[in-house]
Structure formats: C-alpha cells, structure tokens
Structure 1
C-alpha cells in the first residue's frame, strides 16, 4: 500500500484537517510557543476573546425534516466584488507563521473566490499580495501625518487595491493575565541564539523556513517611505501609532474623501460596536462597516460583535453594507451572522491557524470547512440561498442583543 506523500517527511504537515479547532491544535504543535501565543492571546483577562465565540452558542436553529432544497447558493457581493461565499479575509498584522505569509493567504482566498484583506502592518508588500488576489482590500490605521497617509493610499491604489479599510478601534491593550508573548524587534543572529531553546523544539517550522531560504520578517514593508526597501519594525510601527494623535470624525471623513479622490473605490470602517458610531459612518459617506471588537484583542469587556450586530443592522443596514468580524469558527456561525443582518463575515485567527498548520493549502482548508458548514446549515433550514436568511431564521434568547450608543 502506498503511503500518503506527507508521511515521507515527518516534518511536513498532514495536508488536511476537518475543523478549525483541529487547525488551531496543529498550529499549537507546529509553532514556537511565543509565536502561537501571539495568535491566540486576547487582551487583559480575555473576557471579550472568550465572549466572541461563546455568544454564538446562545443562538439556535429550528431545522426542517422535509422540503429541503437540492441546490443551495452562498454567492454574494460585497463592496462591488462578487464572491463565492460570504467569508472574507480580515487584515491581520505580520504573518510570520509561514514563509509565504500574506501571499499564501491571498492565493488561497483567490482560489476559493473571495476577498483578501491586507494589513498595512503586513509582512508582504501590497504589490505582491494584490498580484496574487485581484480582490485585495488594503487596511490602514490612522498613523503618521496626512502626507504619509496619502502616500500609502496612493501606493495601495496603484497596486490594484479594490477598497480601503480604516481600522479605528485599536488601543493596543496590554497587561494580559497570562503574560504577553515575546516579540523581538528584529530577527538577527543575537535574537536567534537567545530564542533558540524555544524554536529548536519545533523542527517542522524551522524546516519550512530553512527550505524557503527565508527568516521570519518582522518589518512592515507597506509602511516604508518612498525609495526605501524596508519598512519599520513592528515596534517602529507601534511608535508611529503611539505618537499620532487619535482621529476625530472629521479626520475619518478626510480619509474617506481622500481615498475617493485617489481611487473612486469603496471605503470601509472596521471596529464599530455602537449604533451612534454606525450612524456617524453613514454621515461621512462610508460604504461599509465591520461590527467588530478587534478579535477581543483590544478593549477587554467589549460585548461580542454578534450581540451588537442586530441593533446596528436595524439602524443602518439599509444605508451601507455590514460585515461581522469576531468569533467565527464554523459555517453555522456565518449563517447566524447573516441572519442578523451581516452581508458577509471576516475571519482572522481561523485562517492564521490554517496558515500555520499547512500554508496556502491550510488557509484553503479553513475556507472549505466554512463553506461546507454554511451549506449544511442552509440544507437543514430548508433554504436555497443565503439571501433567504432573516432574523426569523434563528432563535435569540431574551437579553441577547447589546444596543450600545442608542441616540437620545
């Protein structure tokens, strides 16, 4: 009997997993402890991180036993892009869990017909990522002066970005109860020697980087100044954010208007939890918002986004498009979010675990798992399309919704 190809090399990962939970466990086994810790840690006590997933358990389905639809569709359109399933890649920072990083993620998303969100703190340049996926959205924080931000917007547009995502909810909350993972400023010989005891126990991860001829890159090339080959380190980028005054709504409106002048393409605000903020997003002309609490990695104690989604969708869902970002690990989670008013969902940790577990194929595996789960939920509910999902599709317990910032 022929052995599977992956058994020929004990350091090559098993090429398939059946759930996002298994991908997470594979990532834990494969990555050095500090690297894995950076993927799973929430802020402070982790209340929001845990709540993001736990809230989905409270929403229930009422399945049918007959009259199921033989053909079911989950295709949709988000910010002018046709996608084959209502799941898009949320922008996350330096993806040094795999040598190909964001390029591998972009390829996997393209092969599954969906959108790639690229952080300006990414480890790969926007030009490479947009070339790998022609549905790339570029994400920016409010950092640097306006001339710097204009230069970054222009670069993203020139690379082919189809939309701009402004992330406004980041406060970089520290003080994790379990301790923050060690993130070196740069990977040089001294760093490699110091961290060798933590890394040497993960030969598969070392082998992957050794085979590629690369070392983990902790710089942010999309923050590089014109003419510079390298961007700042993670800590350099953090310093720029720390020394930039936080934006007002007038500043956000300037960002939206400037992007419109440069590109004429959609503008999205990420990190909305309150109804009044959602209405402000409408007022400044945003095309979309994501209801998000930064994956529980920001202000701890913020309600799960799925709890905030319904009231926000009721207030502004007819005026702009809405994505739900936070706690998605199953296709049934996606269906619940769509039933409460989201056009699509954004995933973060789930695809990073897939990337760590098996590179580009692992990210594709995660998207396939979610696609299968969405299809199963539609089948059980007797629906032929995600367009038929409404709040009446699900059972919501009393007191579930959080109506933050209800205008007086």
Structure 2
C-alpha cells in the first residue's frame, strides 16, 4: 500500500469557515484582505452574519420526508437549489478567476453572476456556463451602456443585473490593502515579500503562464462595428464609475426598457434594495426581480443586515416580482432562513471566493455542496418536503428582529405615502 503523508492537507473542506481559513493561508496578505472588505468599522458586514445567528429553527421530531425538493427557478433559469453566484469584481485569487467559478456553478446546476468589473470576459464566462447573468453598474454615458448591453446579449447572457447601491465609502478602520493599478516590474518588486511567502499561489500562476490580470475586459471600449479596444485597468474603470452622475429612478426605468429592447425581452434584476419604498419604485420601473442587498457590507456602514429588512420587502412586492437576498450567507441553514422569510433564492459572494482561493474550481464546488447539503438538512429537520413549503412559522424570530425601512408607521405594507 502506498504511503500517505499524514500532514498533507486534504483539499476537501467541511464548512465555509474552513474554506476561509484555507484561503487565508494560501493567498498573499493583500489579496486575502481584499476579500474581507467591509467599509468603515465593519458594522454592516458583522450584522449580516449576526442576524442569521439571531434566528432559530423550529424542528419536528417525526414525520420527516425521505426526499426533499430543493430546485427552483430564478428569472426563468432552472437551478438545482436556491443559491446563485453573486457578481464580484476582479477575481485574481486564482488564475482561472470567473471562468473557474462559472464552471463550478454549471457543475452544480446554478447561475453564474458576472460583474462588469470581472477579470474574465463575458464571452469566456458564458462559454463556461450558459446560465450567466451579466451585471452592470451605472457607469459611462447611455451610449456606452447600450453597447455593453448589446455585447452581453450577443455573448448569451440570460439576464441583466444592475447594481446601484454604492456611495463610494472607501475608508476602513483597520485599513485597506494596497492594490496596484497594474502588475508591472515595480509592483512585482514591491509585493515580492508577501507573494513569495505564498508559494502554492505563486506556483499556480506560474503554471498558468501569466500574472494576475487587473484589467476589466468587460469595460473595454466598443467601436461602432463591435470591435473591442484596450480594456481599462481596474482603477481606470473605477474612475469612470465614480465620475458618472448617479442614476435617478427615471434612469432605472430607462435601463430596464433599454435592456428589454436590446435583448428581446430578457429579464432584469435590480440589486441593492434595502427599503420598502425603493422596492415599490423598482416594481414601477419595470424590474423582474430585486436583490435585497447592502453590497456585502462594502457600502454604507451602519446599514442593517439584509435578512432583517427582507420580510417587509417580500410582503410588499413578492407577489409582483422575484425577491432574492444577498449578504451574510455562510451556511445552508442561512439559506433556509432566507427562504422562510420570503426570498426566492440567495446570492453568495465571499463564501465562493474563499472556496476559489482555497482550491480553485473544486473549492467553489465544495462551497456550493456545503450550502446545498446544509439546506437539505434544514428542510429535513423542519419536516418539509420542499423548500417552497418553508414559512416564518419554521423559525424562532426574536422580538424587533424585522425592520421595515421606508415604511411609514401606521400604513399597510405596499402603500408608502411617498410612492409616486
């Protein structure tokens, strides 16, 4: 029998927390720090997770079902379980970046969300996972945005996600990691001590024949004939975003209508909703779905956890559009809690990035398996045959847990006085 090294790390991990620890040990310090993120004191990122811990489960002792239905649909896409990939920016934690994540999502039967700040092109990612939703910020003028929509549609994106919840809160009490604008000789020399201490990460890039790509190919200039120019650096793209005047609700309606026209009616999701009145305005603007999201705690610190604001929003608009949740999901039981409070599905960000950093595509698949298995266990324990049977009665909800932001006191949900 072949000898096995007992100290060799098993690439499989049993929790998202272990994936995070593996990523911390494998990635250069500034790369790992960028995944932690969280603006200012990190209050929102902490509450996103604490709020799930504040919710309990109410299990049954008998009458369980030997088979559970976990599948659903999101914006017309059938998925094996209600977890989809949330779009995140440049994924230089692994040489294959977003392509590895897309393949993992496809292997587990779910949707890939691709950021227009991604390090891989929409064409590459759709080739890896046909069920890809392309995400855009409100950046550049309208002509530029139309061209980007056309490119995403031509590549085969199944839906558009607009992320608008950003106020450019860049300060963090514990400091932000230094990220070079491009990986040139100067940057390599400056970061060499931190990178050389992470031999396996460096070796993976060496085997790929490249260096971390900090450009944004999906924001490359698009000529009239559809040809692409040189993609901007991440910071060049960020500057365009910061200098674009923020959108109005009329702009949101324009974005919805333009995408529908460009794509022949493909669905549209608005990401970043935390208030009932905003959810209602999103319905008026014509969106097909919203994601109740606070940008993972990367935006306006002090925003409450998304799971706290989900129930009133789902009550107000859940019968008109699809409602998803993004923020703080680390376990399958978290998914069950979100579904019980009105979410159709959840979007995950840091969890899969830690899996990617820990073990590439296999690590992302590992994280998705953890969430799926944890959800199945929760559905089993609560005596349900399907995720669609989960209700608030399956939870232990503390007094004062839910927050109805943008809901005037004394008025029924769905009828705020300031609705246009």
Structure 1 length normalisation: TM-score? 0.97
1:404 aligns with 2:405: yes
Partner of 2:56: 60
Partner of 2:271: 270
1:190 aligns with 2:186: yes
1:290 aligns with 2:291: yes
Is the contact between residue 79 and residue 288 of structure 1 (CA under 8 Å) also seen in structure 2?
yes
Gaps of 5+ in 1: none
1:80 aligns with 2:76: yes
Task: Using the TM superposition, give the Cα deviation of residue 8 of structure 1 relative to its aligned residue in structure 2, in angstroms.
Answer: 11
Partner of 1:356: 357
1:242 aligns with 2:242: yes
The Cα offsets for residues 322-371 of structure 1, whole Å up to 9 and x where unpaired, read as 11000000000000000000000000000000000000000000000001
Partner of 2:148: 152
Aligned pairs, how many?
404
SS of residue paired to 1:302: coil
SS of residue paired to 2:161: strand
Partner of 1:233: 233
Task: Using the TM superposition, give the Cα deviation of residue 97 of structure 1 relative to its aligned residue in structure 2, in angstroms.
Answer: 0.2
Partner of 1:29: 25
Partner of 2:306: 305
Is the contact between residue 216 and residue 233 of structure 2 (CA under 8 Å) also seen in structure 1?
yes
Partner of 2:195: 199
Structure 2 length normalisation: TM-score? 0.95
The Cα offsets for residues 98-127 of structure 1, whole Å up to 9 and x where unpaired, read as 000000000000000000000000000000
Task: Using the TM superposition, give the Cα deviation of residue 66 of structure 1 relative to its aligned residue in structure 2, in angstroms.
Answer: 1.0
SS of residue paired to 1:252: helix
Q: Distance in 2 between matches of 1:175 and 1:382?
A: 46
Is the contact between residue 59 and residue 394 of structure 2 (CA under 8 Å) also seen in structure 1?
no
Q: Distance in 1 between matches of 2:27 and 2:229?
A: 28
Q: Distance in 1 between matches of 2:295 and 2:2?
A: 46
Task: Using the TM superposition, give the Cα deviation of residue 189 of structure 1 relative to its aligned residue in structure 2, in angstroms.
Answer: 1.1
Partner of 2:257: 257
Is the contact between residue 270 and residue 290 of structure 2 (CA under 8 Å) also seen in structure 1?
yes
Q: Distance in 1 between matches of 2:279 and 2:317?
A: 7
Is the contact between residue 218 and residue 234 of structure 1 (CA under 8 Å) also seen in structure 2?
yes
Task: Using the TM superposition, give the Cα deviation of residue 237 of structure 1 relative to its aligned residue in structure 2, in angstroms.
Answer: 0.8
Give the root-mean-square deviation of aligned CA atoms. 1.3
Q: Distance in 1 between matches of 2:24 and 2:221?
A: 36
Q: 1:82 to 1:398 in 2, by over 3 A?
A: same
Gaps of 5+ in 2: 408-415
Q: Distance in 2 between matches of 1:387 and 1:376?
A: 15
Task: Using the TM superposition, give the Cα deviation of residue 3 of structure 1 relative to its aligned residue in structure 2, in angstroms.
Answer: 5.1
Is the contact between residue 313 and residue 342 of structure 1 (CA under 8 Å) also seen in structure 2?
yes
The Cα offsets for residues 215-247 of structure 1, whole Å up to 9 and x where unpaired, read as 000000000012345311111011101110000
Is the contact between residue 293 and residue 304 of structure 1 (CA under 8 Å) also seen in structure 2?
yes
Q: Which of 80, 83, 90 is the equivalent residue of 2:86?
A: 90
Q: Distance in 2 between matches of 1:311 and 1:15?
A: 41
Alignment of 1:99-248 (within 5 A): 99-226=95-222, 227-248=227-248
The Cα offsets for residues 39-62 of structure 1, whole Å up to 9 and x where unpaired, read as 012000000000000000111111
Q: Distance in 2 between matches of 1:254 and 1:62?
A: 44
Q: Distance in 2 between matches of 1:2 and 1:262?
A: 59
